[in-house]
Structure 1
Amino acid sequence: MQLLLLHLDDALELQPDFVGAALEAGAHEVSEKAIGSHLRLWARRQVLDELSRRLVRATSRKAAQPRLCFLGSGDFHHVTVLLLEQALERAKKPVTVIHIDNHPDWVCFDAGIHCGSWVNKALDNQLVRKVITLGVCSSDLASPERKGANLELLRSQKLELFPYSHPPSRVRGKYGSGPGFDQLGADLHWHSILQMGDKNFIDRLLDRIDTDDVYITIDKDALCRDDAVTNWDQGKLRLDYVLSLLSEIGFCHRIIGADVTGDYSVPHYGGSLLTQAFKRAEILIDQPRLKHDRQSVREINTAANQALLESLMGLMS
């Protein structure tokens, strides 16, 4: 297994104990903060392709091995697209993507790739059998069509979504029913983790994975505030439960790659002044304006990252 610390911001560097533990475990560090400032929130595909080329050059010695990557803020979740593509180039087999997140990341976005749109791009890959998203609590599920959600993914069952908890979503279109929802009139009624119960949901999840191989992507904003501090509004999953999910998945399936986002960092944006202004305006609308104690951020996120590191390394080795 190859372990990568991808520094697109300073989120990981603010956790020296975690970085030290990762280096002791054999991690390779790649610093790309300059390109990271252009990638943050969203970017043209060309920028992502340039980062992909740099990663290939920097990690070529272990290219054949499954990779676990920690990459900082959830503002970079669209980097999962290139990490997934590289994992599939190695594995060359159909894969199910397990996506743990407080947001569905299913928005239609034509100006490039957004941290809230990457699921669409992932499903463009012919080797991705489906994406299973779990843990969502956010308001993205309230009137999702008005917020740009690609609900056709639900209709086609290329995407299965299991919120942690959420009231019915009001929609205009007809989407039928799927593994994670039933449409009754103008409402999608979700099959939530809370409704099913923790153990029953694990059994349900394992039943929905129909490939030998899985790719796992974790945005820690799915975790409650006791277990993570992020740039985004946060969900209600507990870290111990996520670790249980990972253990059960890893016992039954081969993990061909994984990535972890959702650390906190102060945003810095590259690009034109207009691009920077658009991005600043977007976070004023979409991200909570909370003050974070630096020491608390370090301690909470270090504990979560070290637990995820230990779990995923054991499952992927």
Structure 2
Amino acid sequence: MRIRIIDTDGSLMAQPGVMAMCAATGGDVVAARDLAPRLRLLAARDALAALAARLGPPEAGEITFIGSGDFHHLSLLLATRHARALSIVHFDNHPDWVRFPASLNCGSWVARALEEPQVRRVVTIGPASPDIEAPQLKGATMEALRSGRLELHAWTGLETFYAGPAFENAGASAAAGIARDGLKWRGLAGDDWRARIDAIAARLPDAPVWITLDKDVLGTGEAVTNWDQGRLTLDAVLEAIGTIAAHRPLLGMDVCGDYSPEGSLGMFRSLLARLDRSQRPVPQGDGASVNEATNLRILAAMGALLQ
């Protein structure tokens, strides 16, 4: 396993255990703080191209840490620079599936991924945020849900208004109960976790899998993030990744969800931030130590899975 750190915001540089493990395993640090103002929340094309050039050629079996969840859309660059068919399994408290604006941002990168022909399927696991309510009214990529190229497995069962023709998601029909007047997500909470994940893994297309983990899918005891947080445990996430790896080869993984102050975002990014997320206060205590403990557990588990 090769460890790579994209230093967007200094959050990982403040984790000595992670930095030591990166160095000990021959990993590298990609300097990107100069690009961060043009990458945070929304990726400017020139900044994204500059980052791609700094990354160099891709290698299978890499795990890349990218800092705050404000940079989660960099996952698309990391996954698709591998010029081959793949599926993406996405652990997140948010669906990141918005089609508009037609840019690469932290709320739209899943929709952008589904525009890439090499991406066979995206499976999102764990959202507990209000973003999944009335998805058709919030710009979600409904066509991909209907076709099964996008599966979403919410944390809690939720009946949500759906205005339009009968909704059917062939790829995730076992994960959603359909009513004439609405869509009901079948929640993960209280369900048989192993059976659900095993079924998800068994349905994956015959292609390698890219894993992307936003730590805001975890509770506050295991992550301190810039976003509202979900209900999954790290044990559950790591168990799920192990199950997926037993069905399909893992191409690589990225991890975000470390905390960093957002600083000055400019007018457009500030507006995007206010529209796209519940604002949270600066966390109390040492968020870096909480995140470092979780990152080290991720590295210990993934060492046996990413070869």
TM normalised by structure 2 equals: 0.92
The equivalent of 1:254 in structure 2 is: 249
**Superposition CA RMSD, Å:** 1.8
* Count of aligned positions: 302
- In structure 2, relative to structure 1, the CA distance for the partners of 1:26 and 1:269 (3 Å cut) is farther
For 1:184, which of 179, 188, 197 is the aligned residue?
Answer: 179
> Does the residue aligned with 2:303 lie in a helix, a strand or coil?
helix
- Percent identical across equivalent pairs? 34
Aligned-partner residue type, residue 284 of structure 2: D
- In structure 2, relative to structure 1, the CA distance for the partners of 1:174 and 1:53 (3 Å cut) is farther
State the alpha-carbon separation in 2 of the partners of residues 110 and 44 from structure 1.
Answer: 13
Check if 1:309 corresponds to 2:299. yes
The equivalent of 1:209 in structure 2 is: 204
Aligned-partner residue type, residue 308 of structure 1: I
State the alpha-carbon separation in 2 of the partners of residues 30 and 21 from structure 1.
Answer: 15
1:215-294 paired onto structure 2 within 5 Å: 215-269=210-264, 276-285=266-275, 286-294=277-285
Q: What CA deviation, in whole Å up to 9, does each residue of 1:244-279 have, x standing for no partner?
A: 111122223211111001111101346xxxxx1232
The equivalent of 1:273 in structure 2 is: none
4+ residue segments displaced more than 4 Å: none
State the alpha-carbon separation in 2 of the partners of residues 125 and 252 from structure 1.
Answer: 23
Deviation (angstroms), 1:229:
0.8
Q: What CA deviation, in whole Å up to 9, does each residue of 1:56-113 have, x standing for no partner?
A: 2xxx4xx4443210000111111011101112x2xx3x32210110101000123521
The equivalent of 1:80 in structure 2 is: 75
Equivalent pair of 1:137/1:166 in contact (CA under 8 Å)? no
> Does the residue aligned with 2:72 lie in a helix, a strand or coil?
helix
State the alpha-carbon separation in 1 of the partners of residues 2 and 292 from structure 2.
Answer: 20
Equivalent pair of 1:45/1:112 in contact (CA under 8 Å)? no
Aligned-partner residue type, residue 185 of structure 1: R
The equivalent of 1:24 in structure 2 is: 24
Instruction: Give the stretch that moved more between structures: 34-43 or 174-183.
Output: 174-183
Equivalent pair of 2:228/2:280 in contact (CA under 8 Å)? no
Aligned-partner residue type, residue 304 of structure 1: T
Unpaired segments ≥5 residues, structure 1:
271-275
The equivalent of 2:95 in structure 1 is: 104
> Does the residue aligned with 2:87 lie in a helix, a strand or coil?
strand
Equivalent pair of 1:70/1:260 in contact (CA under 8 Å)? yes
The equivalent of 2:131 in structure 1 is: 140
Deviation (angstroms), 1:195:
4.7
Structure with the higher helix share, 1 or 2: 1
> Does the residue aligned with 2:34 lie in a helix, a strand or coil?
helix
Equivalent pair of 1:134/1:163 in contact (CA under 8 Å)? yes
State the alpha-carbon separation in 2 of the partners of residues 157 and 231 from structure 1.
Answer: 31
TM normalised by structure 1 equals: 0.89
